[in-house]
């Protein structure tokens, strides 16, 4: 809200200055002097004519919004009780949940592979548009909570007043102000994320995975790994990327959605103390001298594996929506991201065209007691216990952390020192 009021004040001051300038130029028609110099600058300077047209921005925005809504009505697939009823029910429930007096129009548009959705309006009418690719992920047999989160995020923009006409005028003007404009836009996105979380907290992991990895790889994106990187990654260049972004960067967005005790970060990164799990892999902000050698990483990968069961049995090259898999989505994307000692032999590294040995079949022997398909123990869930029925993103318990503070049988090495390679010393030649 303070950013919005600051934007309104700047817009009013800007319009007042424009009116005063025009009045002065009319009142002082002399061909010489300061007025003549300013008149020449505005009328003959390259691109400066835009300053004279700036007050027409409200009219231009009104026409643009009218054309956008007309395009949806002309070419979009309207969601109704009989056309995409599952998604339309989510829109109606979101409108009721957030206190809208009218149900906004809703459309499905061809995404062409792009994951996107937006909310807008014209006059007193409001609408949301959902790219078709989101429906490949969000069906009832797939990941409906991810789609519910996205739809409630967009309806949240409407409920928070982000798509009102005059707010749109102020936002478009203030977006030309460095740092302040993008910060206002990010603040609005964090607010819409809060609406999405309020209605679909279980959809956070799916939504972040979808935005980060797409509709096929999204189910294998670990939410905790993304969120903890917001606490570990630092540096001036990273902040420059954040400050120039109109939407929250995904690591910060995941961090804000996972840890509800903290607000969405707009300008300053989260503290390293807010990370939930130990850092076991180097970050881009560390000196390259602390990065491991290839031999060290290969040795570690041969003796380590992800914590969730079934890791050795599933290729990490994406999942097709609507296909059943033995390992659930949440078991992968909500697992403790730190590795454990490998339970089975590492994958074979023989050339792909070598003839398989009859005594050593290429895909290993049948599952046994060590099978990665075994169900996880109910007493040691992969991501800790949740504080309530709605939030699956509880921080690890201090009395029984999933990774532990000291190395044990499940944690081959503790938090990474800043001065030594994370995988141990380079083997002597």
Based on the domain organization, do 255 and 140 belong to the same domain? no
Per-residue pLDDT for 427 more than 60? no
Based on the domain organization, do 116 and 255 belong to the same domain? no
pLDDT by residue (tens digit) across 237-268? Answer: 999 999 999 999 999 999 999 998 888 888 88
Full-prediction pTM beyond 0.85?
no
Per-residue pLDDT for 411 more than 60? no
Confidence of residue 209 (pLDDT cuts 50, 70, 90): very high
Residue with tokens 């490949």: 136
Indicate the average pLDDT of the chain.
Answer: 78
Confidence of residue 342 (pLDDT cuts 50, 70, 90): confident
Based on the domain organization, do 178 and 272 belong to the same domain? no
pLDDT at 385: 39
Is 200 a member of any domain?
yes
Which has the higher per-residue pLDDT, 27 or 140? Answer: 27
Highest-pLDDT range among 23-37, 95-109, 163-177, 359-373:
95-109
190 close to 28: Cβ distance less than 8 angstroms: no
Q: What is the average per-residue pLDDT within 112-132?
A: 93
Per-residue pLDDT for 413 more than 60? no
Confidence of residue 136 (pLDDT cuts 50, 70, 90): confident
Cα distances from 126 to residues 22, 157, 382, 389, in angstroms, run 36, 10, 42, 33
Plot region of 230 (φ>0 → left; ψ -120 to 50 → alpha; else → beta):
alpha
What token pair was written down for 156?
């949240």
Neighbours of 236 (CB within 10 A): 8
CA atoms within 13 A on the CB side of 31: 0
Which residue range forms the structural domain that includes residue 93? 1-14+54-213
Instruction: Select from 188, 213, 238 the last residue of a domain.
Output: 213
Per-residue pLDDT for 271 more than 50? yes
Is 319 a member of any domain?
no
Is 9 a member of any domain?
yes
Based on the domain organization, do 200 and 242 belong to the same domain? no
Confidence of residue 371 (pLDDT cuts 50, 70, 90): very low
Question: Please, what is the angle between helix 144-159 and helix 204-217, to 10°?
Answer: 120
What is the spatial distance between Cα 366 and Cα 383, in angstroms, rounded to a whole number? 28
Based on the domain organization, do 153 and 179 belong to the same domain? yes
pLDDT by residue (tens digit) across 180-207? Answer: 999 999 999 999 999 999 999 999 999 9
Confidence of residue 367 (pLDDT cuts 50, 70, 90): very low
Please list, in sequence order, all residues whose beta carbon lies within 8 angstroms of the beta carbon of residue 78, skipping any fewer than 6 positions away: 105, 106, 107
pLDDT at 135: 86
Per-residue pLDDT for 154 more than 60? yes
Here the CATH number for the domain that contains residue 92 is 3.30.2010.10
Based on the domain organization, do 228 and 122 belong to the same domain? no
pLDDT at 202: 94
Is 317 a member of any domain?
no
Is 275 a member of any domain?
yes
Number of domains making up the chain: 2
Based on the domain organization, do 60 and 172 belong to the same domain? yes
Per-residue pLDDT for 290 more than 80? yes
Based on the domain organization, do 110 and 254 belong to the same domain? no
pLDDT at 66: 96
């Amino acid at each position: 809200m303070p950013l919005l009021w600051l934007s309104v004040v700047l817009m009013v001051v800007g319009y007042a200055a424009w009116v005063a300038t025009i009045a002065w130029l009319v009142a002082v028609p002399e061909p010489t002097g300061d007025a003549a110099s300013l008149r020449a600058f505005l009328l003959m300077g390259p691109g400066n004519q835009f300053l004279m047209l700036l007050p027409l921005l409200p009219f231009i925005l009104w026409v643009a919004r009218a054309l956008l809504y007309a395009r949806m009505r002309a070419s979009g697939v309207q969601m109704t009780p009989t056309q995409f009823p599952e998604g339309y029910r989510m829109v109606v429930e979101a409108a009721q949940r957030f206190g809208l007096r009218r149900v906004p129009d809703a459309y499905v548009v061809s995404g062409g592979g792009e994951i996107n959705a937006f909310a807008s309006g014209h006059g007193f009418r409001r609408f949301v548009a959902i790219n078709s690719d989101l429906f490949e992920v969000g069906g009832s047999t797939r990941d409906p909570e991810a789609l519910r989160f996205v739809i409630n995020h967009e309806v949240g923009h409407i409920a928070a007043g982000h798509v009102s006409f005059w707010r749109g005028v102020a936002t478009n003007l203030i977006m030309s102000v460095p740092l302040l404009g993008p910060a206002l836009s990010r603040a609005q996105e964090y607010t819409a994320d809060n609406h999405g979380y309020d209605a679909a907290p279980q959809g956070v992991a799916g939504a972040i995975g979808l935005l980060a990895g797409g509709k096929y790889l999204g189910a294998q994106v670990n939410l905790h790994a993304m969120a903890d990187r917001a606490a570990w990654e630092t540096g001036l260049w990273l902040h420059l990327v954040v400050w120039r972004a109109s939407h929250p960067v995904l690591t910060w967005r995941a961090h804000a959605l996972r840890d509800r005790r903290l607000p969405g970060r707009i300008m300053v990164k989260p503290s390293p103390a807010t990370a939930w799990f130990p850092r076991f892999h180097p970050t881009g902000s560390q000196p390259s001298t602390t990065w491991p050698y290839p031999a060290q990483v290969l040795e570690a990968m041969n003796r380590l594996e992800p914590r969730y069961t079934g890791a050795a049995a599933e290729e990490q090259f994406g999942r097709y929506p609507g296909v059943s898999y033995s390992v659930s989505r949440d078991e992968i994307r909500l697992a403790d991201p730190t590795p454990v000692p490998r339970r089975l032999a590492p994958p074979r590294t023989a050339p792909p065209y070598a003839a398989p040995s009859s005594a050593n079949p290429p895909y290993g022997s049948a599952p046994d007691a060590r099978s990665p398909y075994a169900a996880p123990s109910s007493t040691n869930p992969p991501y800790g216990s949740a504080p309530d029925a709605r939030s699956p993103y509880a921080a690890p318990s201090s009395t029984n952390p999933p990774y532990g503070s000291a190395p044990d049988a499940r944690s081959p090495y503790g938090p990474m020192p800043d001065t030594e390679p994370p995988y141990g010393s380079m083997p002597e030649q």
